[in-house]
Amino acid sequence: MCRHLGTCIFCKIIKGEIPSFKLVETDLSFSFLDIGPLSKGHSLVIPKYHAEKLHQLPDEYLSDAMPVAKKIAAALGAENYNILQNNGRIAHQEVDHVHFHVIPKPSLTDDEG
Ligand code: 5GP
Ligand code: ZN
């Protein structure tokens, strides 16, 4: 466990202390819409375990998170999308609780461009 646990915004989202637009929830994972979406439907999948970086996350949480990301990608119906996971500031991680982005990539013919 990490010393930031008490102040972690994603732990607070899991506990319902910070509101979020919830998508899929399992025993080990929680997912919700990103507050600053890079595209319509941009979502986050987080383990219900406070690990800052991927290598600190127990395998069972990783195994649970990927099917959740799959479900969201399928539900969004995006032909093109990125699954993104950043570790460390230099690698653009802003929130120190492991999270997987599901980022649809609209095509030029979609409304959003
Ligand atoms: P990172 O750069 O750490 O990989 O991504 C963190 C993501 O968390 C960003 O895309 C940011 O918009 C999102 N985010 C940060 N705070 C909140 C919040 O309070 N609620 C939601 N729904 N998303 C957040
Ligand atoms: Zn946390």
What CATH number corresponds to the domain at position 13?
3.30.428.10
92: annotated active-site residue: no
**Counted domains in the chain:** 1
Question: For every one of its 113 residues, what pLDDT tens digit does the chain have, with 9 covering 90 and above?
Answer: 444 567 999 999 999 999 999 999 999 999 999 999 999 999 999 999 999 999 999 999 999 999 999 999 999 999 999 999 999 999 999 999 999 999 999 887 776 54
Tell me whether residue 19 is in a domain: yes
Cβ count within 10 A of residue 87: 15
Atom of ligand 1 nearest to the CA of 85: 4
Distance of CA 47 from the midpoint of ligand 1 (Å) = 14
Burial class (CB in 10 A: 0-12, 13-18, 19+), 14: buried
Position 45 scores a pLDDT of 98
Tell me whether residue 6 is in a domain: yes
Task: Report yes or no: 32 and 18 within 8 Å, Cβ to Cβ.
Answer: no
Tell me whether residue 107 is in a domain: no
Distance of CA 87 from the midpoint of ligand 2 (Å) = 14
The parent domain of residue 42 ranges over 1-51+59-77
Tell me whether residue 109 is in a domain: no
**108 DSSP assignment:** T
> With a cut of 0.85, is the ipTM above it?
yes
Tell me whether residue 112 is in a domain: no
